[in-house]
Chain A
Amino acid sequence: MTTDDHLADLHAMWRIRVLEEKILELRLAGDVVGSVHLSNGQEAVAVGVCGQLRKQDAVFATYRGHGWAMARGVPAFPILAEVLARTAGVNGGRGGSAHFSAPEYGFYGENSIVGAGAPIATGAALASTFDKSGRVVVTVFGDGAMNQGAVPEAMNFAAAMNLPVIFVCENNKYSELTPINDMVRNPDLSARATALGIPATRVDGNDAAEVAAATALAIQTARHGLGPTFIEAHTRRIVGHYIGDAQQYRPEGELEADLAAEPIVRLSHQLIASGVAADTVDAARRRAVTEIEEAARRALAASAADPATALEHLYA
């Protein structure tokens, strides 16, 4: 990877971070209403994976999905307009923060039922085997979702049918307020994939380049008709599970350590250490801020979803 590649990753991560911080600000100000799950600290997974995908490929995400949408190319404006319940939102306010989709960008949607995206992604991969599109499907879910029956069912289905799907587990150590290690005996979640005959790898999810390398291999496997791969990406969310989470479950010092190891800080330090000018590194942030501020201004000015349309789109 060249310095420019790293700078591009940094910019992509800043775009997500600044978007999330803007959504937090709008939520605290009361412009955004309802439960919101931010992905601060986990940006390298979305950026690392999506950077390897082609336009035709499909991503199925979770409620913690703003960053995945953005990494797939969904612009900031329709995302912000969606969480602000505006007509101009990607789904006109129907989906909201936790359940929107933008298939025109290969973003097949968030899902607010833990684990539910995995079988659906498996179905999307099944379609690839019939339409010969070469489409690879990514489904992302958390560590806690590994304990939901839908996930192992989907994994085995994909393994048995040799489907081009990549299971990405964002292991951020917690499921809501409960540490994953209290809820499993074997903390190596990837071992479950191995047991099903699925090639599995554990990567540093705070390193976009490492995530990208694992994804590239998984994509190659899938495109060659060799079936699914499982990627366990170790990362940390440096915010609460949802906005308002008091995070009393965190041991002392944990958040500080996580903040020091988060992907944007890390890559910035790495670039500066390798001789890139501090101003060049900071430009990635500044560009993101300018873009998101402008998108937020437009989204706030956009008109609210029209109640008269509430019953549209239920059936064909």
Chain B
Amino acid sequence: MRETVKLNYGGAVNAALARSLDDYPEAILFGEDVAVPGGVFGVTRGLRKAFGPRVFDTPISETAMLGAAIGSAMMGRRPIVEIMWMDFMFVAFDQIVNQASNVRYVSEGRLTAPLTIRTQQGNAPGACAQHSQNMEALLLHVPGIRVAMTSTPQDAYDVLRSAVACDDPVVVIENRSLYAGPKAEIEIGGDPAPIGGHRLRRPGADVTVVTWGSITSRVLAGADRLAAEGIDAEVIEAVWLNPFDHAAVAASVARTGRLVVVHEANTTGGFGAEVVARVVESGATLKSPPRRIGARDSRIPAAVGLAAAVLPQEDDIVSGLRAAVAG
């Protein structure tokens, strides 16, 4: 049943998990501190009570957690597993890069691994270098793994439901700074949409800005500032990174003639490079060179003042867009 409810981002994740556990009797949900404590960010609160042993806590054993997700998925479960921080995924990367990715392909489709990995990433004030990284590009280099990243309560709900419904491994990347954000009216309870697609956050004529994740709000704030200067930016939020909606970006660039990609991840080897390359390869006529705005290639320092010098700030976005339009 469709209904409109007021939920913040964390609440929307919780609602999507509850609905998925309802929809799929074969769904199971597990991770560190997710069940009895309800999650270190409180996002999975109440689910253990509602769904009993289908929701359970695990040891701090990411390899076993992800392996258990793959194995149980092969046997007909639909696991949703939480990796508390993207940075912790690397102790178990084999299970994603060598294992989950290969299940369908090398078995000629005889086996599948319909599993969802929920994680969250990015810097928050004072976070250390091992709790700050934006690593989506590593996953996007691995065919066989779907990847999505959300920044609004509605998408947190919709994308997670699509991920659970998807019959392949999906990594859904959230951001802890969003969980306790403001409530918004969102629609819940419909059928999950197929994976893929983008969100047009702001129509504009002068420059196409492609972005994803929590930095989207910074991009939109920058675009609003530029509107006062007469620069009209079109902002596309790529909630699905694999599959990526290259066609939508191409269509927008065909109208604006300019392209800027903004991500919190490191610039070098970031997925922004792929977005730019696809547009350039398509032979699009550009009025100015495409630009990438990302983190300066560095480790992330804990000191807030130092981190601000490494990560893209609103001013960096504004000046980057200005230069793109002037160029």
* Residues on A facing B (Cβ under 8 Å): 32-35, 63, 85, 92-99, 111-116, 144-145, 147-150, 175-178, 182-184, 248-249, 304-311, 314
The reply to whether A311 and B305 form a contact with Cβ atoms under 8 Å apart is no
The reply to whether B301 and A94 form a contact with Cβ atoms under 8 Å apart is yes
Closest residue to A245 on the B side, CB-wise? B40
Distance of A126 Cα from B62 Cα, bound (Å): 27
Distance in angstroms from A136 CB to nearest chain B CB is 26
A33, A96, A111, A147: the one contacting B60 at CB < 8 Å is A147
Identify which of residues 13-67 in chain B touch chain A, using a CB-to-CB cut-off of 8 Å.
Answer: 32-33, 36-37, 40, 57-64
Q: A148-B60, A178-B32 are in contact. Are A35 and B299 (CB under 8 A)?
A: no
**B303 contacts across to A, CB distance below 8 A:** 85, 92-94, 96, 304-305
The reply to whether A148 and B91 form a contact with Cβ atoms under 8 Å apart is yes
The reply to whether B302 and A97 form a contact with Cβ atoms under 8 Å apart is yes
The reply to whether A177 and B40 form a contact with Cβ atoms under 8 Å apart is yes
B246 at the A interface (CB under 8 A): no
Closest residue to A308 on the B side, CB-wise? B309
The reply to whether A178 and B57 form a contact with Cβ atoms under 8 Å apart is yes
Q: Which of A93, A97, A308 has the most CB of B within 10 A?
A: A93
The reply to whether A249 and B37 form a contact with Cβ atoms under 8 Å apart is yes
What string of 1s and 0s marks CB contacts (under 8 Å) between B263-299 and chain A?
0000000000000000000000000000000001111
B180 at the A interface (CB under 8 A): no
B36, B127, B301, B305: the one contacting A249 at CB < 8 Å is B36
**B33 contacts across to A, CB distance below 8 A:** 176-178
The reply to whether B129 and A99 form a contact with Cβ atoms under 8 Å apart is yes
B128, B297, B310: the one contacting A96 at CB < 8 Å is B128
A34, A111, A311: the one contacting B127 at CB < 8 Å is A34
The reply to whether A176 and B91 form a contact with Cβ atoms under 8 Å apart is no
**A93 contacts across to B, CB distance below 8 A:** 301-303, 305-306
The reply to whether A33 and B130 form a contact with Cβ atoms under 8 Å apart is no
Q: A33-B126, A149-B91, A249-B37 are in contact. Are A98 and B131 (CB under 8 A)?
A: yes
Distance of A199 Cα from B131 Cα, bound (Å): 34
Distance of A114 Cα from B40 Cα, bound (Å): 15
Q: A182-B57, A308-B309 are in contact. Are A99 and B130 (CB under 8 A)?
A: yes
Distance of A111 Cα from B61 Cα, bound (Å): 17
Distance of A85 Cα from B128 Cα, bound (Å): 11
Distance of A118 Cα from B258 Cα, bound (Å): 50
What are 18 A-B contacts defined by CB distance under 8 Å?
A33-B304, A34-B124, A85-B303, A93-B306, A97-B128, A113-B130, A114-B60, A114-B88, A115-B60, A147-B60, A147-B61, A149-B61, A150-B91, A183-B58, A184-B59, A306-B305, A310-B307, A311-B296
Q: Which of A92, A177, A306 has the most CB of B within 10 A?
A: A177
Closest residue to A27 on the B side, CB-wise? B126
Q: Which of B40, B61, B298, B306 has the most CB of A within 10 A?
A: B306
The reply to whether A112 and B59 form a contact with Cβ atoms under 8 Å apart is no
B224 at the A interface (CB under 8 A): no
Distance of A61 Cα from B131 Cα, bound (Å): 17
The reply to whether B61 and A33 form a contact with Cβ atoms under 8 Å apart is no
B124, B297, B298, B304: the one contacting A85 at CB < 8 Å is B304
**A305 contacts across to B, CB distance below 8 A:** 301, 303, 305-306
The reply to whether B40 and A183 form a contact with Cβ atoms under 8 Å apart is no
B190 at the A interface (CB under 8 A): no
B87 at the A interface (CB under 8 A): yes
B125 at the A interface (CB under 8 A): yes
The reply to whether B128 and A307 form a contact with Cβ atoms under 8 Å apart is no
Identify which of residues 109-148 in chain B touch chain A, using a CB-to-CB cut-off of 8 Å.
Answer: 124-131
Distance in angstroms from A74 CB to nearest chain B CB is 17
**A175 contacts across to B, CB distance below 8 A:** 32, 59-60
Add 8 more A-B contacts to A92-B303, A97-B128 (CB < 8 A).
Answer: A34-B304, A35-B126, A35-B127, A94-B129, A183-B60, A305-B301, A308-B309, A310-B296
The reply to whether A34 and B309 form a contact with Cβ atoms under 8 Å apart is no
The reply to whether B57 and A183 form a contact with Cβ atoms under 8 Å apart is yes
B308 at the A interface (CB under 8 A): yes
**B127 contacts across to A, CB distance below 8 A:** 34-35, 96
Closest residue to B92 on the A side, CB-wise? A149
Distance of A67 Cα from B306 Cα, bound (Å): 25
Distance in angstroms from B59 CB to nearest chain A CB is 4
* Nearest 7 CB-CB pairings of A with B: A34-B126, A96-B302, A93-B303, A85-B303, A147-B59, A177-B37, A310-B309
Q: Which of A34, A148, A311 has the most CB of B within 10 A?
A: A34
Q: Which of B62, B87, B88, B304 has the most CB of A within 10 A?
A: B304
Closest residue to A33 on the B side, CB-wise? B126
The reply to whether A112 and B37 form a contact with Cβ atoms under 8 Å apart is no
Distance of A216 Cα from B310 Cα, bound (Å): 45
The reply to whether A113 and B60 form a contact with Cβ atoms under 8 Å apart is no
Closest residue to A147 on the B side, CB-wise? B59
The reply to whether A32 and B61 form a contact with Cβ atoms under 8 Å apart is no
Distance of A138 Cα from B33 Cα, bound (Å): 28
Closest residue to B302 on the A side, CB-wise? A96
Distance in angstroms from A172 CB to nearest chain B CB is 14
The reply to whether B305 and A307 form a contact with Cβ atoms under 8 Å apart is yes
**A95 contacts across to B, CB distance below 8 A:** 128-129, 302
The reply to whether B302 and A94 form a contact with Cβ atoms under 8 Å apart is yes
Q: Which of A63, A98, A249 has the most CB of B within 10 A?
A: A98
**B87 contacts across to A, CB distance below 8 A:** 112-113
Distance in angstroms from A88 CB to nearest chain B CB is 12
Distance of A308 Cα from B63 Cα, bound (Å): 39
Distance in angstroms from A122 CB to nearest chain B CB is 16
A113, A248, A311: the one contacting B298 at CB < 8 Å is A311
Distance of A113 Cα from B133 Cα, bound (Å): 13
The reply to whether A33 and B128 form a contact with Cβ atoms under 8 Å apart is no
